[in-house]
Chain A
C-alpha cells in the first residue's frame, strides 16, 4: 500500500482514496490537424515505461478530488515527491522525458 501525501489536503492518506491516471506531463500537440499520424499516435497511445524515476498523474478521488503529480521510483515503489498541477518537479532525469 502507498501512503500518499496529497499536496492539496496537505496530509498523507491511504492509497485506496486515490486513483492512478498514467504518465504525467503529456503535452497535447499544438495543432492536431498538422500532425503526422506517427506524432498523433505517439501522443495518444505510447507511454514510456522506465525502470526508475517516473512521473505520474494521480487523482485524490475520494477526498479533495484534485489531480496532482507523483514522482515515483518504479523499481522500489518509493514516492519521491508529490506536487500540484502546474508546478515543476524537483526531480527529473532529463527535461526531454517530461516533454516526450
Chain B
C-alpha cells in the first residue's frame, strides 16, 4: 500500500460524497475499548504461558458493501487494495491489510490505524456503480489470541467447530462467543484474530482471560507473532 499517499487524496474528487478524516493528526485523542484492561504485562512471559492475548488497538476498519458479480466493484477493490474479494468464509491479506468476507454482499477491510481516510478516498476513486464504504473503526476492535492452547480457549468459548479439518488458516467465521458474538479468523496454526464489538470488548476480554487461566496466560504479543506493530499507534501516546 506504499502507493497510497496523501497527495493522491488531494486530487480525489468524489461528487456527492462528503468524506471526513476522523483522525486528521495524531494529537487527536483516541481510546481503544480495552485501554483500561489490555495493558501488556511487563517483563518476560512465564515459561508456563501457553496462551498469549493482546489487543490490536485503533486499527482501520472499513466495511465494503457491494455486489461481487459487478465488475466495477470487484475490480475497483482489487485496484485500490491489491486484494481479491474473498469467497464465502474466506479472507485475504497482503502486507498490513486484510480483506474478509462477512456476508454475501459485505467485506471487512482492516489495516493500519492512520490510513482510514487515505484508503477510503482511494477506494472511492476506484469503485464504480452501486456500493457503500463505512468506517466502523470506532465500533469494533481486534483481540489477538495466540499460543499452543489458543484453540482450546476458543473451544471452551464458542459452539463452532474450530478443529483443523473445519477451520483451516485463512477462514473467517462470525459466531457466538460466550454470551455475545465475535468474528473469528485464523491467521496461523495457533494464531487467531477476533473482531469484537466495542461495547462487548471488555466482556470478551475478561471472558478470554478467565477461560485461558488454566493454561497459563500472558497479556502481550507472542514475540514471533509481532509483525507490523511498529506502524501501529500505541494507545497511551494519544490519550
A residues near B (Cβ < 8 Å) are 8-11, 13-14, 16-17, 62-66
Q: List 11 A-B contacts (CB under 8 A).
A: A10-B88, A13-B175, A14-B176, A17-B175, A62-B175, A62-B176, A63-B174, A63-B175, A64-B104, A64-B174, A66-B104
B136: shortest Cβ distance to chain A, in Å?
14
List B contacts of A8 (CB < 8 A). 88, 103-104
Nearest B-chain residue to A65, judged by Cβ: B103
A21: shortest Cβ distance to chain B, in Å?
17
Whether A9 contacts B175 by the Cβ 8 Å rule is: no
List B contacts of A10 (CB < 8 A). 88-89
Checking A9, A16, A65, A66 against B176 with a beta-carbon cut-off of 8 angstroms, the contacting residue is A16
B residues near A (Cβ < 8 Å) are 88-89, 102-104, 159-160, 173-176, 181
Whether B89 contacts A17 by the Cβ 8 Å rule is: no
Checking A13, A14, A64 against B102 with a beta-carbon cut-off of 8 angstroms, the contacting residue is A64
Whether A16 contacts B159 by the Cβ 8 Å rule is: yes
The A interface, classified by DSSP as helix, strand, loop or mixed, is loop
Nearest A-chain residue to B180, judged by Cβ: A62
Q: How many angstroms from the CA of A63 to the CA of B173 in the assembled complex?
A: 7
Report the 10 A-B pairs with minimum CB-CB distance, sorted nearest first: A64-B103, A14-B159, A62-B181, A63-B174, A8-B104, A62-B176, A16-B176, A10-B88, A65-B103, A66-B103
Nearest B-chain residue to A63, judged by Cβ: B174
Find the residue from A16, A62, A64 having the highest chain B CB count within 10 A.
A64
Say whether, besides A63-B174, A65-B103, A13 and B160 are in contact (CB < 8 Å).
Answer: yes
Q: How many angstroms from the CA of A9 to the CA of B103 in the assembled complex?
A: 8
Whether A9 contacts B159 by the Cβ 8 Å rule is: no
Q: How many angstroms from the CA of A26 to the CA of B13 in the assembled complex?
A: 45
List A contacts of B176 (CB < 8 A). 14, 16-17, 62
Whether B174 contacts A62 by the Cβ 8 Å rule is: yes
List A contacts of B181 (CB < 8 A). 62
List B contacts of A64 (CB < 8 A). 102-104, 174
Q: How many angstroms from the CA of A8 to the CA of B173 in the assembled complex?
A: 12
Whether A14 contacts B103 by the Cβ 8 Å rule is: no
Whether B175 contacts A11 by the Cβ 8 Å rule is: no
Nearest A-chain residue to B88, judged by Cβ: A10
Q: How many angstroms from the CA of A8 to the CA of B105 in the assembled complex?
A: 10
Apart from the given pairs A9-B88, A10-B89, A62-B176, 10 other A-B contacts in the complex at a CB distance below 8 Å: A8-B88, A8-B104, A10-B88, A11-B89, A13-B175, A14-B159, A62-B181, A64-B102, A64-B174, A66-B104
Q: How many angstroms from the CA of A63 to the CA of B181 in the assembled complex?
A: 9
List B contacts of A13 (CB < 8 A). 160, 175
A50: shortest Cβ distance to chain B, in Å?
30
Q: How many angstroms from the CA of A64 to the CA of B87 in the assembled complex?
A: 13
List A contacts of B175 (CB < 8 A). 13, 17, 62-63
Nearest B-chain residue to A61, judged by Cβ: B181
List B contacts of A65 (CB < 8 A). 103
Find the residue from A8, A16, A62, A65 having the highest chain B CB count within 10 A.
A62
Nearest A-chain residue to B101, judged by Cβ: A64
Q: How many angstroms from the CA of A16 to the CA of B179 in the assembled complex?
A: 10
Q: How many angstroms from the CA of A87 to the CA of B35 in the assembled complex?
A: 47
